[in-house]
Amino acid sequence: MNKPNRSRRRFIAGAAAGAVIAQSRLARAQLAIQPLGPLIEKLTNGARVNEGRVSVDIPRLADNGHSVPLKVSVASPMNEREFVKTIHVLSERNPRPLVAAFHFNPHCGRAEVVTRVRLNGSQRVHVIAGLSDGSYWSGSAEVEVTETACLDAT
Amino acid sequence: MALARIQVPKEAKRGELVTVRVAIQHPMETGFRYDNMGRPIPKNVINTVVCRYNGEEVFRAEMGSGISANPYLQFYVVAADSGELAFDWIDDAGERGSERVALTVVA
């Protein structure tokens, strides 16, 4: 009478432990939102970042975090006197917050880039644009991600 | 190395904005995944893509693991002179790839 009971208990304890481990793995994959301030400061060398001029086009709801279309454009002339030099794309929740850096020059004609990004969960995607006159502008967009990237299937 | 598809119009007027679209076949391995033996798969992404127009750099992308597999880029170039657009890229493993596309500029 005692013996089967004990093995049943062991099984339940094991199952519970398994559930806890699975939960903690999930929690680790879904990183908490991290402040981007220090990274932005490093990118701009501490210069002031103005809000505006940058438009971030991303779907409000992304089904698949492995590939989310992203369009970034900066309202700025692109001539020798004034042009957009860099565009940095930052993620609050990715294990590596710097997603990509794009470098432009007046020959581009338009400060716009389209790509596809990986996003590790719902978050706000931030973009910092550096202009030739040394000013920095920022824009951001909120995106809801149902299936996150980085959550490994194996 | 990797297969790449680059779309640029064959012809453009001088001063016209030309749309350049690049798609490169690459797994863009994040370094956070494990193989079926439980060993971590090392990070390997295309870290730099450079586009030169008649030898002069017009666009450069520095990418990390936050860019999707088979990276896709779309950007613009102002048509100036007939010539070629040269694309060069390199991944973390040091593998390079390149592609050239001719662009004819009509007055």
A111 and A75 co-located in one domain: yes
A42 and A22 co-located in one domain: no
Q: How many CA atoms lie within 13 A of A21 on its CB side?
A: 6
A138 and A95 co-located in one domain: yes
Q: Residue A67: inside a domain, yes or no?
A: yes
Which pLDDT tens digit goes with each residue over B33-88?
Answer: 888 998 999 999 999 999 999 999 999 999 999 999 999 999 999 999 999 999 99
Residue-number span of the structural domain to which A18 is assigned: 1-30
Q: What is the CATH number of the domain that holds A141?
A: 2.60.40.2470
Nearest residue in B to A104, CA atom: B59
Q: Residue A153: inside a domain, yes or no?
A: no
Does the ipTM exceed 0.85? yes
Q: How far is B70 from chain A (nearest CA, A)?
A: 9
Size of interface A-B (CB pairs under 8 A): 100
Nearest residue in A to B77, CA atom: A108
Q: How far is B23 from chain A (nearest CA, A)?
A: 10
Place of tokens 């391995």: B29
Q: How many CA atoms lie within 13 A of A148 on its CB side?
A: 18
Q: Residue A49: inside a domain, yes or no?
A: yes
> Which residues does chain B have within 8 Å of residue A114's beta carbon, measured at their own beta carbons?
72-75
A141 and A113 co-located in one domain: yes
Asked whether residue B2 carries a pLDDT value surpassing 90, the answer given is: no
Domains of chain B listed by start with CATH number: 4-106 (2.60.40.10)
